[in-house]
A and B are shown apart, each in its own frame.
Chain A
């Protein structure tokens, strides 16, 4: 059951009641991130940071390793200086850390947000990217009427069932 709302506070109230009555899994839509919806849904913290951390660690290790291994494999001996030197190689460690860390962050975001998504046909309305808010409640068939009533009571401009 999907409800389209024009106002933010109506959307929040509908989500709160649906959650309170435990009628099904709820997805909220909004044209822009709103803390009000996040507070109503109370999701766990985003674990994107773990992807960032592991990506950054892998990057910094690879950056230093590449420079050290390459220098040892093909030594360019200059004036008694060390073949592998960590100070200039910090440039490689840092740059590769940023590159891999940032790309793995984006990968983590995609993975956790479930994108790329191949189909848009169920549980979405183009108005959600413009000026409207949405609540999609995935519920059992016997709860449909109750969910619909809640969505309408809180001021949904349109309510429809999708499967």
Chain B
């Protein structure tokens, strides 16, 4: 049975996410009209784009400066030879996880609350992975040699080390970027056809006709589309889990205190989903307010996604505690010393930012009132974004600066070049997202129409989408 709930109704307990409907959306024409109205540029949008471009400019300047001066300007201090770049790489790969989780895994589970947010989340995934992919290239110092990691026939007749997690990463990230982009684009084809059919500018119409591949909404097209979409979702589901597992191997395969543990893959995957959902909130909550889309992304949708964030926060919190337990129970003094140093020693401030933002503050989501408060969810999302960046900081830096032997102990202070590139990464990400929002539908028109009751000659009870 469909559950009809007013979008701004304050509270309603135990809403099954699969039953979420859009009672304020009456027909297909309304869907097209309201969602396509977002495509009109506004002053606020231009302002946002300008800020993003300014941040990107700072990032480009920092990178050019680093290429000119050498990697020494980046604050590396042996043996801490992984710093902000690798932290930011893992951060953005993690952000990229929510998109495919929402579009693929929740699709297979028939979770209704994904319908209106998955397009934005998918686009976010693609742009986040594009951002993440830059950082290993920035980190190697000589970016023009990055292609040496790719196995290809070459005149030197040498091949990369296939047992290296760094080469696994190249395959995992490349596959993830390719499949996420494909998934996003395939889902966009019918919606681009909607734009094409409404476009009056002949040049834009031709471009949209090209991008929609001549899609005509025929039953034959929909049948194969639905089947292909299902298989893409089925492929993407294990892919989501594999990508961050492989990223975690970059650490777990190293015999370094704090890294060499089998808990890393599930710990990383849960953290990635957690941070990805937070970034979805960071983007979606202002969007629903500014573009007047509160009847599409309703409080029920936010409530359901808050439950997911709470669940992944508990998993991540458990992983933090298990790490301490393993260090204590394993009886390895290097591990014990390292974890003490992480929480109460040299890096206490970073560890407590992580624990507060990722473990303690999300406990507020046990309150239904707060789960249905968009302002609180947005504030919490910022804390989680900060907390998850610091989680990666806590994983990378304290381990390298507090290795097995005391003569290896060191410290790490990022320089303005590190911060410039970190800020630049946000500029790069938001530039793409803002451009996307004004060119293509940020919500999936065809899928939203699926849950809107179709017009009927004979009125009868409708059971919602399928």
Contacts and interface: CB of A to CB of B under 8 A. Distances in A.
Interface in B427-466: 445-447, 449-450, 454-458, 466
B330 to A, nearest CB: 24
A96 interface: yes
Given A29-B216, A117-B216, A109 B228 contact: yes
Contact of B231 (A9, A34, A105): A105
B395 to A, nearest CB: 21
Nearest to B216: A124
B345 interface: no
B175 A43 contact: no
A105 B235 contact: yes
Interface in B162-212: 162-163, 168, 171-172, 174-175, 178-179, 182-183, 186, 189-190, 193-194, 196-198, 209
Contacts of B458: 9
Interface in A5-42: 6-10, 27-35, 37-38, 41
Interface stretch (B81-89, B153-161, B308-316, B347-355): B153-161
A109 B232 CA distance: 11
A66 B167 CA distance: 13
Contact of B213 (A43, A73, A98, A115): A115
B contact patch SS: helix
B222 interface: yes
B239 interface: yes
Nearest to B183: A102
B324 interface: no
A95 B172 contact: yes
A88 B231 contact: no
Contacts of B216: 29, 117, 120, 123-124, 128
B224 A48 contact: yes
Contacts of A140: none
B232 to A, nearest CB: 6
Most chain B beta-carbon neighbours within 10 Å: one of A35, A67, A95, A119? A95
A121 B33 CA distance: 25
A113 interface: yes
A31 B232 contact: no
Interface residues of B, number: 65
B168 A7 contact: no
A113 B227 CA distance: 11
B219 A6 contact: no
Interface in A82-122: 85, 88-89, 91-92, 94-96, 98-99, 101-103, 105-106, 108-110, 112-120
A96 B227 contact: no
A12 B323 CA distance: 60
A71 B175 CA distance: 21
B405 interface: no
Contacts of A92: 162, 168, 171
A94 B242 contact: yes
Interface size class of A (residues with CB under 8 A): 35 or more
Given A94-B242, A95-B172, A115-B221, A9 B159 contact: no
Given A91-B168, A101-B235, A130-B29, A66 B213 contact: no
B214 A29 contact: no
B28 A131 contact: yes
A112 to B, nearest CB: 5
Contact of B157 (A37, A48, A74): A74
Interface in A39-62: 41, 43, 46, 48-49, 52, 56
A116 B213 CA distance: 4
Contacts of B454: 7-8, 34
B215 interface: yes
B214 A117 contact: yes
Contacts of A117: 213-216
Central interface residue in B162, B172, B214, B242, by most chain A CB within 10 Å? B162
Nearest to A41: B219
Given A109-B227, A131-B28, A29 B217 contact: yes
A100 to B, nearest CB: 10
B34 interface: no
Interface string B25-41: 00111001000000000
Given A9-B457, A134-B217, 15 more contacts: A8-B455, A33-B225, A43-B220, A94-B242, A101-B231, A102-B235, A103-B178, A105-B228, A106-B228, A109-B225, A117-B216, A128-B217, A129-B196, A130-B29, A131-B28
Interface of A: 6-10, 27-35, 37-38, 41, 43, 46, 48-49, 52, 56, 63, 66-67, 70-71, 73-74, 76, 78, 85, 88-89, 91-92, 94-96, 98-99, 101-103, 105-106, 108-110, 112-120, 123-124, 126-131, 134, 155
7 contacts: A28-B219, A48-B231, A112-B220, A113-B218, A117-B216, A130-B32, A131-B29
